[in-house]
Amino acid sequence: MSIPTIDLRKAEDPFYCTQSQENIRHALIEVGFLYLSNHGIDEAVIQDLVAILPTLFALPDKAKESVALVQSPHFLGYSKFGAEITARVQDQREQFEIANDLPDKRRLDPALPLYTMLQGPNQWLKTNAIPRYRDMVESYITAMQDLALRFVRVVAEALGLPAASLFSFTGPGDRLKLVHYKPSPEATFDAPSQGVGPHKDSSGWMTFLLQASDPTIKGLQVLSKDGAWLDVPPIPGTLVVNMGQAFEVVTNGVCKATTHRVLLPPGEYDRYSVPFFQGVRPDLTKQDLKTLWEHFDRKRWNTRESEEGRRIDSPFLRRKYETWGEAQLRTKVRSHRDVGKRHYAEVFEKYIGDD
Ligand SMILES: O=C(O)CCC(=O)C(=O)O
Ligand SMILES: [Fe+2]
């Protein structure tokens, strides 16, 4: 099976939309990943960001650590190489996590639910090494926000829903990551390094990923419905799109959240990527997320998932959390325990113990 390409301009054009809708449905239900071409993002906005990544990650550790993630109750900032563990193995990557700058509402009103604290301001690097760093990142986020809404509109139609029907699930907490991978010297072709282990995106509604290195640098893979890992090599001019866990819940499992990973074959190279995670409204309850279930049940689309994909943790579906925000907070605390310990002491033990 190959990864389909969806031409967004065509998908929005009534003349082509029937064929596009079929292709989108196939991509979402049968594959999990798609390439988005003709997305209309200003090439300069993308190229500006791509061009600064090597300089950004080459900054001295002290500069990067000045915006360390552990300082932020909003899980926004820098995580150093090897700080993350996915599927019990250390990931070979470092990253900056950035959001659309929002006020920290819970600081002003402690009666708000604890998960409200996931939102708040960014930590911005104070460096002259990259002039206009903040501007470039913010322009990219704005472009992605617009694109994500356009895409969700064509997705709704492809799934037989009114064009605006998926908007009510999207929320204020959009996030961007700037990621740098490097294989460990021990990597071999038989045992490549784990860039990031097998996972489903937990924070987003849809993820829009820019593979920001030379097209010869591969690594991204998707788990097929038959349980085989397929390469998703970079294709210049496209973004890769996949679905997050909330989307799987809303479609009652018709569109499974995409299981994916990054493997790093041996070599002297750097891989950069920029995923944008479209936010999900944190106050959504189980009831809210079930409002379209009847529609999806009626369609009787054939849906299946490999055994390995089914084993990926889906806390909202399988556990007792009442709101999306709380399930999200649990996931964040579990994957960044130092942040959890420092800023969420009151729930730390509860979330860590909840396997
Ligand atoms: O770097 C990539 O290509 C994928 C990154 C990813 O899956 C993630 O950070 O969630
Ligand atoms: Fe991911």
DSSP notation for 72-127:
-TT--EEE-TT--EETTEE--EEEEEEE-----HHHH-TTS-GGGGG--PPPPP--
Contact 170, 279 (CB under 8 A): yes
What number is the average pLDDT over the span 93-113? 93
CA-based radius of gyration for the chain: 19
**Residue range 280-328, pLDDT digits in tens:** 999 999 889 999 999 999 988 877 888 788 877 666 666 678 899 999 9
Mutate to test the pocket of ligand 1, among 96, 260, 271, 277 (most ligand atoms within 8 A of CB): 260
Tokens of 286: 């189980």
Task: Convert the pLDDT of each residue in 216-228 to its tens digit.
Answer: 999 999 999 899 9
Residue 219 corresponds to which amino acid? Answer: G
Q: How high is the pLDDT of residue 135?
A: 95
pLDDT exceeds cutoff 80 at 93? yes
Cα–Cα distance measured from residue 334 to residue 337, given in angstroms and rounded to the nearest whole number: 6
Q: Which ligand is nearest to the CA of 194?
A: 1
* For residue 15, pLDDT beyond 90: no
Q: Extract the tokens encoding 258.
A: 């995409």
Ligand 1 cavity residues, CB under 6 Å: 177, 179, 196, 201, 209, 211, 220, 260, 262, 273, 275
Contact 255, 248 (CB under 8 A): yes
Q: How remote is the CA of residue 196 from the centroid of ligand 1, in Å?
A: 7
Tokens 């942040």 correspond to 339
Q: Output the pTM of the full model.
A: 0.96
Task: Give the distance (Å) from ligand 2 centre to CA of residue 2.
Answer: 19
Kindly report the protein residue whose alpha carbon is nearest to atom 2 of ligand 1. 273
- Write down the pLDDT at residue 282: 94
C-alpha 260 to ligand 2 mean position (Å)? 6
For residue 347, the SS3 value is helix
Query: Which atom of ligand 1 approaches the CA of 195 most closely?
Result: 1
Q: How far is it, in rounded angstroms, from Cα 243 to Cα 8?
A: 17
Ligand 1 midpoint to CA 160 (Å): 29
Over residues 126-182, the pLDDT tens digits come to 888 999 999 999 999 999 999 999 999 999 999 999 999 999 999 888 999 999 999
ipTM of this complex prediction, to 2 decimal places: 0.99
> How far is the centre of ligand 2, averaged over its atoms, from the C-alpha of 217 (Å)?
17
Determine the average pLDDT of the residues in 24-35: 94
The predicted pLDDT at position 3 comes to 95
Which residue's structure tokens are 């472009």? 143
CA of 201 to the centre of ligand 2 (A): 5
Best probe residue, ligand 1, of 33, 92, 179 (max atoms within 8 Å of C-beta): 179
In 294-325, which positions are buried (b, 16+ CB within 10 angstroms) versus exposed (e)?
eebeebebebebbeebeebbbbbeeeebebbb
Q: Among the atoms of ligand 1, which is closest to the Cα of residue 181? A: 1
Confidence of residue 124 (pLDDT cuts 50, 70, 90): very high
- Amino acid at site 107: R
Confidence grade of residue 84 (pLDDT, cut at 50, 70, 90): confident
Most ligand 1 atoms within 8 A of CB, residue of 79, 176, 211, 273 to mutate? 273
pLDDT digits (tens, 9 = 90+) for 335-349: 899 999 999 999 999
pLDDT reported for residue 301:
85
* Separation of alpha carbons 55 and 65, rounded Å: 15
- Residue 231, pLDDT > 70, answer yes
Average pLDDT of the chain is: 92
Q: Walk me through the domains of the chain, giving residue ranges and CATH numbers.
A: 5-352 (2.60.120.330)
Per the listing, tokens 């990253």 go with 95
The string of DSSP letters for 15-43 reads TTHHHHHHHHHHIIIIISEEEEES----H
CA-to-CA distance for 199 and 291, rounded, in angstroms?
Answer: 26
Distance 108 CA to ligand 1 centre (A): 34
Query: What's the pLDDT score for residue 172?
Result: 86
In the structure, what pLDDT confidence band is assigned to residue 87 with cuts at 50, 70 and 90?
confident
Q: So what's the pLDDT on residue 300? A: 82
End-to-end CA distance of the chain: 34
What is the Cα–Cα distance from 233 to 289, expressed in whole angstroms?
Answer: 33
Q: Which residues surround ligand 2, an ion (CB under 5 A)?
A: 201
Which ligand 1 atom is at minimum distance from the Cα of 220? 3
Helix (H, G, I), strand (E, B) or coil at 209: strand
Instruction: Name the closest-CA residue to atom 1, ligand 1.
Output: 273
Q: What percent of the chain has pLDDT over 90?
A: 78
Ligand 1 nearest atom to the CA of residue 240, by list position: 3
* pLDDT tens profile 41-73: 999 999 999 999 999 999 999 999 999 999 999
- Which-ligand-closest: CA of 244? 2
